Amino acid sequence: MTTSTAEVGKRPASAGRRVRPTEGRKTPGWVRGLAWKLLRLVISIWAVLTLTFLMIQFIPGDPVRLALGPDAPASLVEERRQQLGLDQPLIVQYFDYWGRMLTGDFGDSLLTQQPVSLLVEARIGNTATIVALSLVATSVVAILGGLLVGIATHRGRRPTLRTGFTLATGIAAALPDFLVAVGLVFLFAVTFTIFPVAGAAGADSFVLPTLAITLGSAATMMRVVRSSTAVVLDQDYLLVARAKRLPATRVYLRHGLPNLLTAALTLGGLQLGTVVTGTIVVENVFAIPGLGTALVQALITRDYPVVQTIMVLLAGTVLILNLLIDVALGALDPRSKRQRS
């Protein structure tokens, strides 16, 4: 059977040509990875807000009565409860709490009758300074210290240094932050009077609090960086760089250090919570007017609008920083890109 020229001309233009399907195209891996991270962030923030609300609600005692004093008339206590919405059912209070948090209305303090936002605004600067300085100091000391010790003790060299390093970092990591803070106060503020004992009068007021938080976190991270250094130094690309007789600084800093950052960033994300909780403790030891001291005072007086606001701010900061670290890890480690795509 033959085919006429007219029939050939009637064939669709796509005949004989491979058509690429469009409906089967996948979303880029980095988009899916980022969407999953954002979803986890939203779920984590919801859990933090909910747990904070429930924790405060189930604390024994009446916060309004405690704030107004035992001699306050019952009518005044009831009026204040109505103003705060505490006479409403629990589910109504929950949705009202969510609405206020999402709009930035943190309510008023039960003790001072002032907006909680004013308290946060006055104190958040000191806390942010301590947290930022501690994170920077921890990262620098841990990465450089772990790298240098890892190079010096590579392949069993200098066993005495390795043993001393392991012992010193183990002790430093085990010491509680408040005990380190008290020791630093006694040594550098009382005995030698180099730094102030308490308060936040100047830049030198943040030296001892930063050291108290940095010591344990840096010791823990330094051990991981030293172990990672031992693995990185045995990789083929580093052996090739040495065979080319490149300068030692170029070999270790340009070829070795970038591959240590993934392990350092991973542990750094885990250390964020430790740094934040350490800041709360250290602020109270050094009487620094920050969110940590405000949180402890609010817990003692059961000023729960202040407690809720500060806990949500601190937990939200940790979650957001962890998200940024996770994104940075995906950008630095090419293996994670291949796994997501």
- Is 303 contained in some domain? no
Query: Is the distance from CB of 302 to CB of 63 less than 8 angstroms?
Result: yes
Residues 221 and 81 reside in one and the same domain: no
Query: Is the distance from CB of 57 to CB of 90 less than 8 angstroms?
Result: yes
Whole-number pLDDT of residue 338: 44
- Is 173 contained in some domain? yes
Give the separation between CA 36 and CA 46, rounded to whole angstroms. Answer: 15
Whole-number pLDDT of residue 243: 72
Residues 136 and 89 reside in one and the same domain: no
Query: How do residues 146-173 score in pLDDT, each as one tens digit?
Result: 888 888 888 888 889 999 999 999 999 8
Query: What letter represents residue 148's amino acid?
Result: L
Whole-number pLDDT of residue 322: 84
Query: How do residues 258-311 score in pLDDT, each as one tens digit?
Result: 777 777 777 777 778 888 888 999 999 999 999 999 999 888 888 888 988 999
Task: For residue 279, give the H/E element and its range.
Answer: helix 257-285
Cross-strand partners of 115: 108
pTM greater than the 0.85 cutoff:
no
* 204-225 mean pLDDT: 90
Confidence label for 340 from pLDDT (cuts 50, 70 and 90):
very low
Whole-number pLDDT of residue 128: 92
* 83-99 mean pLDDT: 83
Residues 55 and 174 reside in one and the same domain: no
Q: How many domains does the chain have?
A: 2
* 89-104 mean pLDDT: 85
What is the span of the domain harbouring residue 89?
A: 30-102
- Who has greater pLDDT, 246 or 32? 32
- Is 340 contained in some domain? no
Give the separation between CA 119 and CA 135, rounded to whole angstroms. Answer: 24
Per-state percent for the chain, helix, strand, coil, to nearest 5: 75, 0, 25
- Is 208 contained in some domain? yes
Where is average pLDDT lowest: 135-149, 164-178, 226-240? 226-240
- Start-end of H helices in 58-157: 63-68, 74-84, 90-102, 116-152
Where is average pLDDT lowest: 9-23, 89-103, 172-186? 9-23
Confidence label for 1 from pLDDT (cuts 50, 70 and 90):
very low
- Is 6 contained in some domain? no
Query: Is the distance from CB of 336 to CB of 330 less than 8 angstroms?
Result: yes
Report whether pLDDT(42) > 80. Answer: yes
Whole-number pLDDT of residue 22: 47
- Who has greater pLDDT, 102 or 168? 168
Query: Is the distance from CB of 221 to CB of 271 less than 8 angstroms?
Result: yes
* 200-219 mean pLDDT: 89
Query: Is the distance from CB of 142 to CB of 221 less than 8 angstroms?
Result: yes
Domain stops at, among 247, 272, 289: 289
Report whether pLDDT(337) > 50. Answer: no
Where is average pLDDT lowest: 121-135, 166-180, 208-222, 313-327? 313-327
Query: Is the distance from CB of 37 to CB of 321 less than 8 angstroms?
Result: no
What is the maximum span of the chain, computed from C-alpha positions, in angstroms?
109
The angle at the Cα of 146, spanning 142 to 152, to the nearest 5 degrees, equals 155
Residues 137 and 278 reside in one and the same domain: yes
Residues 85 and 153 reside in one and the same domain: no
- Is 9 contained in some domain? no
Residues 140 and 272 reside in one and the same domain: yes
Residues 267 and 138 reside in one and the same domain: yes
Query: Is the distance from CB of 142 to CB of 225 less than 8 angstroms?
Result: yes
- Who has greater pLDDT, 116 or 239? 116
End-to-end CA distance of the chain: 50
**Residue 2 burial class via C-beta count within 10 angstroms: exposed 0-12, middle 13-18, buried 19 and up:** exposed
Residues 133 and 266 reside in one and the same domain: yes
Report whether pLDDT(312) > 60. Answer: yes
Query: How do residues 11-30 score in pLDDT, each as one tens digit?
Result: 555 455 554 554 455 666 66
Token digits of residue 266: 């991973």
- Compute how many other C-beta atoms are within 10 angstroms of the C-beta atom of residue 283: 25
Where is average pLDDT lowest: 87-91, 214-218, 233-237? 233-237
| Rounded percentage of the chain residues whose pLDDT exceeds 70 | 84
Residues 152 and 257 reside in one and the same domain: yes
Q: For residue 247, which phi and psi values (nearest 5 degrees)?
A: -60, 145
Report whether pLDDT(209) > 90. Answer: yes
Report whether pLDDT(130) > 50. Answer: yes
Mean pLDDT taken over the chain: 80
Q: How many residues does the chain have?
A: 341
The angle at the Cα of 262, spanning 260 to 263, to the nearest 5 degrees, equals 70
* 311-320 mean pLDDT: 88
